[in-house]
Amino acid sequence: MAADSGCSVKLIVGLGNPGAEYANSRHNAGFMVIERLLAGFPEGRFTESHTAESRVFTGRYRGKNLVLQMPLTYMNVSGSAVAPLSRRLGIEAPEIVVISDDLDLEPGRLRLRQGGSDGGHNGLKSIIAGLGSANFKRVRVGIGRPEAGTTADYVLSGFQGEEEKTFNAAIDRAAEAVLTILGAGMSAAMNKFNAAVKNDTEKE
């Protein structure tokens, strides 16, 4: 089976921080995409459990087993949840999609990529260390950089006004991107969802 095949994906990980105070923050884009995906599936399709310090949703999609994970370890140590679950289930890095926020993309933009560095994202850094591999798929949701104040305060705050509408639309598109990866493969998803940002200057 080709590494790019959509049906090779077995685990979808959405990154964020647990707790009501972080629920609508920029840093929780990954959690929001998982919630959006679950809301789009028929009721009862996925069964929730709490394991590997995570909310884990197990079900089937397009005739294949699929697991969705929301680590509850806090962002900076996400790898301590993702690595144990993937090992327990026998899932390799290329079979994982990780959804995260991205400071270096404008709000509303998406960037899909296979492998690469952590790009300064502590959640991705932790997962790379835990898995011992960077060769997992990424769906990055743009949140932009703050005009003033600290980055830490910014990522833990929420959007307001028109930016909130743009961000919510991006969450919808990111969920669609994940479904495209599952159905048509990573290359097809990259061609479709990276087109709007192909000329952007951003980190790799």
Classified as helix, coil or strand, 187 is helix
How many angstroms separate the CA atoms of 46 and 61, rounded? 9
Catalytic residue numbers read: 27
Contact 71, 13 (CB under 8 A): yes
Using DSSP's 3-state secondary structure scheme, residue 35 falls into helix
Which residues have C-beta within 8 Å of that of residue 154, sequence separation ≥ 6?
A: 26, 145, 146
